[in-house]
Chain A
Amino acid sequence: MTFKLSTFTTALLLGTASLSASADETCASPYMAKITGQEDFVYIWTLGAEGVGDEQDKLVTVDVNPKSKQYGKVIGSLSVGGRNEAHHSDFTDDRKFLWAGGLDTNKIFIFDVATDPAKPKLSKTITDFVAKSGGVVGPHSLYALPGRMIITGLSNNKDHGGRTAIVEYSNAGDYIATYWLPTDSNLEGAIKSGKYADGYNYDVRVLPRKNLMLTSSFTGWSNYMMDFGKMLADPEAMKRFGNTVVQWDLHSRQPKKVFDVPGAPLEIRCAWAEDHNYCFTSTALTSKIWLIHQDDKGEWQAKDVADIGEPAKIPLPVDISISSDDKTLWVNTFMDGMTRRFDISDPFHPKQVFEQKIGAQVNMVSSSWDGKRLYYTSSLLANWDKKGADNEQFFKAYSWDGSKLTEQFSIDFTKEKLGRAHQMRFGAYSLYGGSPK
């Protein structure tokens, strides 16, 4: 392969992204190399579905470069065996490998995306995550730190409940350490600022310049694997959701403060600008946007700043995506299949300024660096997805012109015999100094 920086549309921001005045593919780790121009591929971590194709989880590669002859087409599908409850995936800091987790079987699949970005290869499968981590179940967020990955667990192998830990692995795929979330009987040195210290976990994001790491909280295996309708009707199950966000010392990996954020705070998105010392999260059950911000005294605080849709109808906000200029937060609500654009110019007063139905159900949203392209997928969790005709499984590409969301193409994952489309990550030849072969 000849290394050639022949394009002006993509750039490497190796290691300097968080210092850049510019933004990125808006939700990635600040440690990671970014695609700033046109992405070539979207890798979709897809759940196998019984009765659909080969019924197993797979990494699906879609060509999304309008200049490509294969634009809008599935150009690769790599089956990994089993239904592992494929969920999230993310790159190592050098962006050579994509780590993809299975919330049920606790396997982590490591794909080489650098050798040929058009054709990811499975290079390693971690099968002993639970044993190595001391009983952590449900590898969720896979987040790049220098030379290693931080992995949030969702559950444990003792009661399949929500008490869990974050786990650190080296880029080579070797276990490093386990850090348990603070609980009442062992706050691990943290301050319980409110009424809750549930020990639950979900997403992780960092603000390196503030030495800040934040984790949110969802629910244990018993609930995330349970049939959604059954769970909503089960009052015992509905008590087992996280109500906390934890502030950590990023450098020492020690929890500092536990915030009450009731109703299952999920994805965390931190602002990019140097002086924007805040992050957002949204609560799935109580349908609110929360702001985690630094106050005048330098103390971190949590505040609910907006409702999402009509909370009384349980719209179920799922993925959120912050724009590179910190002005927009896209919020998807699963139950009504809507994507909602919030103006977050004033982070304390987000306002919904736009909404559009994407499908009968919608989960993930991923934005390009410049915010002009938005991609959507449908699947939330195998047993939470809608049933019957509402179980639309898709990957949809849209353009955004500042006021209008226009569909560019759509791929029906059931018709294509692929499965349930979940998380998206972008690939580009230019990341590796290459060009199409």
Chain B
Amino acid sequence: MIALLCFLLNLITPISQAQETKPLAPGYTALPFEPAKPGTYALPIITKAANGEVITTNNQPKHLHDLMGDKLVLLSFIYAACSDVNGCPLATQVLHKISRQLQKQPELADKLRLLTLSFNPTQDTPEMMRHYGEGFKTGDFDWQFLTTKDEASLQPILDGYQQNVQKVYDDKGQFTGTFSHLLRVYLIDKDKNVRNIYSVDFLHADTLINDVKTLLADAKPQVAPSTVPADVLFQPGDNKQNYQQVDYQTRSLALAQRQGQPAKLIDFALKPPLGLPKLPVSKDNPLTPAKIELGRKLFFDRRLSLNNTFSCAICHIPEQGFSNNEMTTAVGIEGRSVRRNSPSLYNVGYAQLLFHDGRENSLEQQAWGPLLAHNEMGNPSIGYVVDKLKASADYRGLFEKSFNKGPTMETIGQALASYQRTLNSADSPFDRWYFGKQKAAISEAARRGFALFTGKAACSTCHSIGEKTALFTDQKRHNTGVGYAESMQKSPEKQRVQVAPGVFVVVNSEHLKGVNTEKPGDLGYYEISQNPADRWAYKTPSLRNVALSAPYMHNGSLPTLAEVVKFYNQGGAANENLSPLLKPLGLSDRESDDLVAFLEALSGGNVGALVSDAFVAPVGDSGVTARPMSDPGKGR
């Protein structure tokens, strides 16, 4: 071989002695690690292998694709004069090693072709390439040495393989005969797809042969995921219970396992589960399977926001009680702070007051609040949302099918309301015990808790229970003092911050001043009524599924049900508008525990079905291709 420098690299680096100390590439030595066994890993398709016109050593013009398709192909780009030890010679040396090793495995050898293509057509004539190849060819191994007619026919090939090659010129602008190039070898399958690309550090006969065997085995590597029990699957996947403890352990679920089954949602509206009354139906918007299906699609569509990042489900996460367990108050588009906690949407179809302050009165209208809020979904106008849906191919015909007209302010609200009206959940252990008369349906503690709930603690004064059904709300607003306390409390001098499982630091608030934002006020229903008597009044939420929607209160300030019971046991937070219904309860610790046990018995029997259904809902994202929707008649 002609000993010309492939790279001037080491002469021009500041450390000129690098040439002597330059270690040999791994391809020359034994592989310094144990590679993954063939067939145990995947080699996904990187790109289509480009075509182009080449010339064989017999002076035969061919298309590169003529040399692919019948066998796997290893393609390397070199130029004959290249002498950088870790450049072209490495590529050729590794291919040579492969050809020698595969001679002992003829069943493999027959399935692989080596192609060495020059990127220097001026010097590397077919004759030159034949001469170059003679030094390396092993027996009758299928190794072809190729060149091109000229630089014009070479260039599209270089472009196709994104093979960066530059001629190196000297000070006087004369071509030095050397090229600077990025060494790459391509593994190409029989469908002419590139399946791996190797550079200096990965160009080794052992890993290459393993990759060849992996492609030939064509087996998808299977790591059997452990099966997830349904009760765990439909819970929050990133379980942080006991995170305050030093011995915290993760119990995280793989997102790929977040899969479910469609439910016949309309049944939950037409025949509400045990313990719920008949669902109030909007005369203007009777429920249909098509509307529910469309509403569900809208509910999970992140494109329903200015920058395609926010759906309703981002704050009302199905496995987090259709609320958000992972923050006290919500965060909207661009991370903008929202003042209040994401409320659960279970049984929202029964709610006469919507939003924490109860300022809205129908789900159809309510939907536009978050859609247009600057700090929630951030849509700039109603027309923007309507036009976006009209332009989305995957919505084509869906509104027309449901409403006999396209997307409008009215129909968008109606579709979203329709889906939400099916999120009815009851038939809880409590319902089966109280309404279903199944004696063993709830624990002793829960029964004692019920007695307190309706007796000594008087919770049911506001969280009402009827004779045949229970919504656990009086559909009214009250001042419990939670809002007052937040508005009036002085900033603490110290702040306790958790920095790792079981690890807390207490920081001077002064130290964190720079990153703190002035908190916006929150005066509850007063903001709507402008009546000072309504300061810090918020609506009574239903307690159904309350165990699923921590943290609690309109501002998420209470992390657990135990804390909530403690708050009410103290009689709320004193202020001049405090509801007269709140007074210290004098509950013992055991009584408090019993109340919590009762509240935990309010989780509906169909929670799994609703969450499971939500898991199969299509999540709309930018660039998502239109997926045909299932026939709404089926499974809805």
Which residues of chain B are near A314, meaning CB under 8 Å? 497, 499, 505, 507, 511-512
A96 at the interface (CB under 8 A from B): yes
Residues 1 to 60 of chain A near chain B (Cβ within 8 Å): 2-6, 8-9, 11-16, 18-22, 30-31, 33, 36-37
B13 at the interface (CB under 8 A from A): yes
Residues 125 to 154 of chain A near chain B (Cβ within 8 Å): 127-128, 130-132, 134-135, 137, 146-148
Which residues of chain A are near B243, meaning CB under 8 Å? 239
In the assembled complex, the Cα of A361 lies from the Cα of B243 at a distance in Å of 30
Are the CB atoms of A195 and B250 closer together than 8 Å?
yes
Specify which of B250, B253, B309 is in contact with A104 (CB 8 Å cutoff): B309
CB distance from A186 to the nearest CB of B (A): 4
Are the CB atoms of A135 and B255 closer together than 8 Å?
yes
Which residues of chain B are near A263, meaning CB under 8 Å? 499-500, 503
B240 at the interface (CB under 8 A from A): yes
Are the CB atoms of A232 and B168 closer together than 8 Å?
no
Which residues of chain B are near A148, meaning CB under 8 Å? 46, 197
A68 at the interface (CB under 8 A from B): no
Interface size on B, residues (CB 8 A): 116
Among B109-117, B320-328, B410-418, the stretch that binds chain A is B320-328
Residues 78 to 113 of chain A near chain B (Cβ within 8 Å): 82-85, 93-94, 96, 104-106
| Residue interface mask B316-338, A partner, CB < 8 A = 1 | 01011000111111010011010
Which residues of chain B are near A232, meaning CB under 8 Å? 495, 497, 512, 515
Are the CB atoms of B320 and A21 closer together than 8 Å?
no
Known: A229-B512, A263-B500. A6 touches B335 (CB 8 A): no
Specify which of A84, A128, A160, A360 is in contact with B621 (CB 8 Å cutoff): A128
B162 at the interface (CB under 8 A from A): yes
Are the CB atoms of B559 and A236 closer together than 8 Å?
yes
CB distance from A302 to the nearest CB of B (A): 14
Are the CB atoms of B249 and A15 closer together than 8 Å?
no
Are the CB atoms of A131 and B47 closer together than 8 Å?
no
Among A204-212, A346-354, A419-427, the stretch that binds chain B is A204-212
Are the CB atoms of A185 and B257 closer together than 8 Å?
yes
In the assembled complex, the Cα of A390 lies from the Cα of B595 at a distance in Å of 48
In the assembled complex, the Cα of A26 lies from the Cα of B207 at a distance in Å of 28
B302 at the interface (CB under 8 A from A): yes
Are the CB atoms of A186 and B326 closer together than 8 Å?
no
In the assembled complex, the Cα of A268 lies from the Cα of B223 at a distance in Å of 28
Interface size on A, residues (CB 8 A): 124
Known: A222-B326, A387-B514, A387-B515. A127 touches B14 (CB 8 A): no
CB distance from A26 to the nearest CB of B (A): 15
Are the CB atoms of B515 and A159 closer together than 8 Å?
no
Are the CB atoms of B622 and A130 closer together than 8 Å?
yes
Which residues of chain A are near B197, meaning CB under 8 Å? 146-148
Are the CB atoms of B44 and A176 closer together than 8 Å?
yes
In the assembled complex, the Cα of A222 lies from the Cα of B46 at a distance in Å of 32
In the assembled complex, the Cα of A382 lies from the Cα of B515 at a distance in Å of 11
Among B28-36, B265-273, B284-292, B461-469, the stretch that binds chain A is B28-36
Known contacts A94-B162, A262-B500; can you find 9 more A-B pairs with CB under 8 A? A21-B15, A37-B14, A83-B334, A147-B46, A148-B197, A157-B302, A161-B326, A226-B337, A387-B516
Those 6 A-B pairs whose CB atoms lie nearest each other, nearest first? A128-B623, A225-B335, A252-B41, A208-B201, A229-B516, A147-B197
Give me the interface of B with A, judged by CB distance under 8 Å: 7-9, 12-15, 18, 21-26, 32-33, 35-36, 40-42, 44-47, 84, 86-87, 162, 164, 166-171, 173, 180-184, 194, 197-202, 207, 221, 223, 225-226, 228, 236-238, 240, 243, 247-258, 302, 307-309, 314, 317, 319-320, 324-329, 331, 334-335, 337, 495, 497-501, 503, 505-507, 511-512, 514-517, 550-551, 556, 559, 619, 621-625
List 22 interface pairs A-B (beta carbons < 8 Å), by A numbering.
A2-B169, A8-B12, A19-B23, A21-B18, A21-B23, A104-B335, A106-B309, A130-B302, A159-B236, A163-B253, A186-B223, A195-B247, A195-B501, A226-B331, A227-B335, A232-B497, A236-B556, A237-B328, A238-B499, A311-B505, A382-B335, A385-B515
